[in-house]
Amino acid sequence: MMRMISPIIFIFSLLLFSCHAAVQDFCVADLTAPDTPAGYACKKAANVTVDDFVFSGLGVAANTTGTFNKAAVTPAFVAQFPGVNGLGFSFARLDMEPGGVVPIHTHPGASEAILVLEGKITAGFVSSANTVYYKTLKKGDVFIFPQGLLHFQVNAGSTHVQVFVTFSSANPGLQILDLSLFSNDFPSELVAATSFLDIPQIKKLKAFFGGTG
């Protein structure tokens, strides 16, 4: 008897499993609903159009005029590109003028890959063992920044830089180290105590980055 029942139970559990495993084709973000750790809620299928799966903004250089770092990013994250919701990737374009720099920062939610399309950059990251991996890259080179690690890019040439960027999340997140330290009202004395920098330097950087305290 047991011999007969076991295969039947097995087949039933397979059927149950496949029902539970059935997935929706896509979950285009309903940007009117709040973002959550699991992404946005899905737009009603009847409201989804092909334009939810197309982002057209990466053909134009981002406007770097007036930026302190002579660089600008055009994001194609879920907020700009609802079709990537739940798919685990997103894109961006980085433009840098001569002297441009993307200050050291981290994306808590994503690994990143960059492809140099124009110009020459030095890109690098710091591991949690504080080893620095950096290299000067030219057109056609791809570099990866593992998830969560502090990284940077600088224009290493004398011409415009264009970089295509992809992330392993629809919403990679961003924390820029200098802004975290100097663009807020964290008291300078506490910044000094926790960073070992001296107060005049901290006050100078707070003035530059718009912090108080």
Ligand X SMILES: *[C@@H]1O[C@H](CO)[C@@H](O)[C@H](O)[C@H]1NC(C)=O
Which stretches of the chain bind ligand X, using CB under 6 A? 30, 43-44, 47, 63, 65-66
**Least distance to ligand X from the beta carbon of 110, Å?**
27
Q: Phi/psi at 158 (nearest 5 deg)? A: -120, 20
The answer on whether 160 is annotated among ligand-binding residues is no
CB closer to ligand X out of 49 and 194: 49
Rounded to an integer, what distance in angstroms lies between the CA atom of residue 160 and that of residue 95? 7
Q: Phi/psi at 48 (nearest 5 deg)? A: -80, 135
Instruction: Give the DSSP H/E element, type plus range, for residue 113.
Output: strand 112-118
CB closer to ligand X out of 30 and 178: 30
**Least distance to ligand X from the beta carbon of 172, Å?**
24
Instruction: Give the DSSP H/E element, type plus range, for residue 195.
Output: helix 188-195
The answer on whether 97 is annotated among ligand-binding residues is no
Residue for token pair 């910044």: 191
CB closer to ligand X out of 20 and 44: 44
The answer on whether 151 is annotated among ligand-binding residues is yes
The answer on whether 118 is annotated among ligand-binding residues is no
Binding site residues, as ranges? 105, 107, 112, 151
